Amino acid sequence: MSKRVVITGLGCISPLGNDVNSTWENVVAGKSGAGQITKFDTTDYKTTIAAEVKGFDAKALFGRREVRRMDLVSMYALAAAQQAVENAGLEINEDNRDRIGAVVGTGIGGIGTLFENVKTFLEQGPARVSPFLVPRMLPDTPGGMIAIHLGVRATNFAVVTACATGTNALGESAEVIRRGQADVILAGGSEASIVPIAVAGMIVMGALSDRNEEPEKASRPFDAGRNGFVMGEGAAILVLESLEHAQSRGAPILAEVTGYGSTNDAYHISAPAENGVGAALCMRAALDSANMSGDEIGYVNAHGTSTNLNDKSETAAIKTVFGEHAYKLAVSSTKSMTGHLLGAAGALEALFCVKAINEDVLPPTINYETPDPECDLDYVPNKARPVQVDHVMSNSFGFGGHNATIVLSRYSGVGL
């Protein structure tokens, strides 16, 4: 019999705070984490804004020696994982470490390390490249560093599906637990791509907003004035556990993972399929997995990137899947506040869904000023909304046509 999977711990590093409480408080307050880029000189850049992590002291957390071994993408992931384990009250020891794993995704990996070493290579030659180049830049290193530092020895792999990564990591982790290969998985995503080459690449694609004079208003999902996303960074890790294991140790059960869908558009390398066909297929798959009808969902945390095509296609997909219920649904995009964390986005947004269930508050879509006739749903505009919801859905869609959807539910102790 398939095991039930619950969430018992949360941890995050985000543009809105370096822990869950401060991040959630700022989300509920409708605060933007966007500002001018401070990590490099943006003089020649059309876009000069991003949602950076602020005040993150890696040396204080890990020590100078360990910081030399890790790209920022791994540091964010490890810091979030440590928070999540503490939040879950999970003691890792010789008796259980073989049944605890880590599945952590990243869309781009250690691109900061790669960029700096390419410069060194070109300017000083191959002998000057760092011996840490390869392990620091690999996409599986964040999960590997979590395993090394926390001592977990069950399954450990990376998910790389562009902006769907974080949600796929959670969904695949739940599947590992359901089939009995682990009791606990530290699951989520991390990204540290506010790096000159990555920002330049997004700019020339036309993906980023250039509303540089008002960075806090640049990310405006579903608004008629949207003109691209704001790049963000950070990590979110959730502790996923079999229900039996969580109950055996008296763990706090924050929510249950009840559904998961994963599809591909098979359409275009970066644009979503017209009318959101692939996204709709994914949402339906998640509902089928949860054995739910669309009417049971009370809130959707949308992918909602603030790009013209994504927001239109996702709105169309929601209407396709939910029918008339779509107009009764609360749908919001927290990217309006956090920016787009790329491979970490889905994990952070799932964390927000867990908080919404526990706190009975739905996060808003800020900067929603001018309705778009093609985006005509209830986007929880500008202010958080006190509402109790029992079942929520979180969407993530990535370049390459990757789609991932997860359904999370209030834990009731009753079979679903």
Q: Among all residues, which ones are annotated catalytic?
A: 163, 303, 340
- Quick one: tokens of 102? 């880590």
- Quick one: tokens of 278? 């692939």
Phi, psi angles (nearest 5°) of residue 398 = -125, 160
Strand pairing category for 234-242 and 184-191: antiparallel
403 vs 261: CA distance, rounded Å: 8
Say which DSSP state 375 is in.
B
Neighbour-count burial of 115, counting CB atoms closer than 10 A to its CB (0-12 exposed, 13-18 middle, 19+ buried): middle
Which strand ranges, in their side-by-side order, compose the sheet holding 5-13?
156-157, 100-105, 184-191, 234-242, 5-13, 255-264, 402-409, 391-398, 299-301, 330-332
CB contact at 8 A, 300 and 277: no
CB contact at 8 A, 41 and 33: no
Alpha helices in 262-379 (DSSP H): 277-290, 308-322, 335-338, 345-359
- The 3-state secondary structure of 174-222 reads HHHHHCCCCCEEEEEEEECCCCHHHHHHHHHHCCECCCCCCHHHCCCCC
291 CB-side CA count, 13 A? 2
Which residues, at least 6 apart from 74, have a Cβ–Cβ distance to it below 8 Å? 110, 136, 141, 142, 145, 190
CB contact at 8 A, 255 and 393: no
197 vs 402: CA distance, rounded Å: 23
Give the CA angle between residues 269, 227, 73 to the nearest 5°. Answer: 60
